[in-house]
A and B are shown apart, each in its own frame.
Chain A
Amino acid sequence: MNRNNFFIHLALALVLVLVAAFAGQLSRWRKQWKSHIGVVPATEKKRATTVEEISISEARRLGRPEVLVRFKSGVSQETIERLTAQRNDRVEDRIENVSGLEAIDDLDNADATTVASEYSQLAEVEYAEPNFEIELDTAEGPLVPVLPHDPQFTDQWALANSGQRGGKQGADISATLAWATTTGSEEVVVAVLDSGVDYTHEDLIKNMWMRPARMAPYHDEELGTIDDEHGFNAIDSAADPMDENGHGTHCAGIIGAEGENDIGIAGVNWKVRIMPLKFMNAGGFGTTKDAIEAINYVIDRKKAGVNVRIISASWGSTQRSRALGDVIRKAYENDILFVAAAGNSSTNNDRNPHFPSSYDVPNVISVAALDRNDELAKFSNYGVKSVAIAAPGVDILSTWLGDAYEEKSGTSMATPVVSGVAALVLAEHPRMSVDDLKKKLLASTDPIVALKGKIATGGRINAAKALEN
């Protein structure tokens, strides 16, 4: 190369470097500008808007890394590459200024949330999260999904169904989109009328209601004065509402297991106040009279100033009690929603009513159960006149006695999903009346083919829709 050619090549190289640097800066400016506007995971579920769907296909076509993983200090690059290769993943980029932070591309194009969760559980990993794509958040733009880091969240298909275990992607209540609006409020109290609640469970303890110190212990003319520090036990008013069965604890976790605490699962509400009411014994059954006592307690506490707006009732029988109907009506008059299980006999409640879900009282919402493929659960009762709405209720993971977690099925499990969504709505609209709340919930469904002609709304509850104005 002669001397002139050398300088020409050098000048060209300098120009190229300058152009590249300027383009890079432009890109960074663009990202910084957009980061003030909103974030959307690169691979989000099916219910996502058109913009997000485009993002998914683009992400896959372009091979955009699905997750950002920060490995713990001291983890070698060899180990990182071995761990990613084991999962058929590839380190796409290393973020130099943050030690251990890698952008990882999943070559199988698995759901980003699932991939991030898998990495989160590795001992070598400090944290992992989906690679968020920056999108312009216009007034009409997409909602912004929010994903908790609770380690078993990926098993909670009811909240985010990525197709895990043979399920149907998107057959969920759109919880991650709802959480963009609210994750709940400590001001909303949900009464779990059940077998009590293990109020010491590590994933529930921070979301349990306790009688405020300024509030006098509960007094009933027949029962006398009761220390209701943790709630109410209608079986033995001298005892507290500690769960001896597990059913009530399971329902409580669905409504409000603490979210984003790096423990177990996330409830529909990450923050809420759960009031335990015990009327079912260690076997999971109880008397109508004790159920009435407990509802009466809720009404009294509401009158005393506790913001208890929802009773979640995952129980029932085919026997009608006028007294039970009357006390539920009294709850309605006190602005309390009553969410009830439709029953598990695979029967039509229009013909064979199931109570309390079949009471014709304005605050009652009867709930059927769906499986992970958006099919009516084979055990679920239905009724186009008497069953209002459906929610996930098969293989539902939630809290159990002794800091444990178990999967259970039943309209018992679908009911607290709807109660939980009601609590989210009240977190956002604290003054909403019980009539408006019920109307809002029933208008917030995704139509499901299997439910057409089976239940009144023909749909699955959608938490994100319930929070739309």
Chain B
Amino acid sequence: MAIDKDSAVQNAQKDLARRLNIDAADVKQKSVEDSDFPDMALGAAEDGEMSGQMITRGWRIKLEAQGKTYEYRADKNQVRAFNFKGKNHRV
């Protein structure tokens, strides 16, 4: 089922709360922007993952928690944590 922008943001907030072991209410939405990503893994491939090299339209989601900014990337197919503690993760 296709993911829309709102559900992508919600999924990202829940994922960040889980990773930081904090309450989801403590994760604030900083910005959500339409963005073109370089590939179909949204420029956030996990280890061992290959993706189609097609420019992909999606959303760049910036969240704030514990005084830090975290980036998520999403499109209609997926949500990914970008460079979270040096690694990318598919949510």
Contact = CB atoms under 8 A, between A and B. Distances in A.
Given A344-B55, A379-B55, A285 B48 contact: no
Interface stretch (A40-48, A113-121, A168-176, A409-417): A409-417
Contact of B52 (A321, A379, A412): A412
A286 B50 CA distance: 5
B48 A412 contact: no
Contacts of A280: 40, 50-52
A411 B48 contact: no
Interface residues of B, number: 18
Contact of A409 (B40, B49, B51, B55): B55
Given A284-B40, A284-B77, A379-B38, A289 B48 contact: yes
Q: Is the interface of B mostly helix, strand, loop or mixed?
A: loop
Contacts of B78: 283
B54 interface: yes
Contacts of A341: 53
B74 to A, nearest CB: 11
A25 interface: no
Given A283-B78, A285-B49, A287-B49, A410 B41 contact: no
A352 interface: no
Nearest to B49: A285
A343 interface: yes
A307 to B, nearest CB: 26
B45 interface: yes
A291 B53 contact: no
Contacts of A344: 38-39, 53-55
Interface string B13-42: 000000000000000000000000011110
Contacts of B39: 284, 315-316, 343-344, 410
B52 A245 contact: yes
Given A289-B48, A291-B50, A319-B45, A283 B77 contact: yes
A318 B47 CA distance: 10
A289 B50 CA distance: 10
A380 B47 CA distance: 22
B56 interface: yes
B38 A345 contact: yes
A195 interface: yes
Interface string A232-249: 000000000000010100
Contact of B77 (A194, A282, A314, A315): A282
A268 to B, nearest CB: 18
Interface string B38-82: 111101010111111111100000000000000000000110000
Given A284-B40, A285-B40, A315 B52 contact: yes
A345 B50 contact: no
A288 interface: yes
Interface in A330-359: 341-346
Given A284-B77, A285-B45, A319-B47, A314 B52 contact: yes
Given A282-B77, A321-B48, A315 B53 contact: yes
Task: Give the one of B41, B49, B54, B55 with max A CB within 10 A.
Answer: B54
A339 to B, nearest CB: 12
B55 A247 contact: no
Contact of A412 (B45, B47, B53, B77): B53
A288 B48 contact: yes
A194 B52 contact: yes
Contacts of B43: 345
Task: Give the one of B43, B49, B55 with max A CB within 10 A.
Answer: B55
A354 B24 CA distance: 37
Given A283-B77, A284-B77, A285-B41, A314 B50 contact: no
Given A344-B39, A379-B38, A286 B49 contact: yes
Contacts of B40: 245, 247, 280, 283-285
A408 interface: yes
Contact of B50 (A245, A316, A410): A316
Interface in A246-285: 247, 250, 279-280, 282-285
A343 B77 contact: no
Contacts of A195: 52
Given A247-B40, A284-B40, A286-B50, A410 B45 contact: no
24 contacts: A194-B52, A245-B40, A280-B40, A283-B40, A285-B49, A286-B51, A287-B49, A289-B48, A314-B52, A315-B39, A315-B51, A315-B52, A316-B39, A316-B50, A317-B51, A342-B53, A343-B38, A379-B38, A379-B55, A410-B39, A410-B52, A410-B55, A412-B52, A415-B53
Interface of B: 38-41, 43, 45, 47-56, 77-78
Interface of A: 194-195, 245, 247, 250, 279-280, 282-289, 291, 314-319, 321, 341-346, 379, 408-413, 415
Which 10 residue pairs spanning A and B have beta carbons closest together? A284-B40, A344-B38, A410-B54, A283-B77, A341-B53, A285-B51, A412-B53, A412-B54, A284-B52, A247-B52
Given A283-B77, A286-B50, A411-B53, 9 more contacts: A247-B52, A280-B40, A280-B51, A284-B77, A291-B50, A315-B53, A344-B38, A344-B53, A346-B38
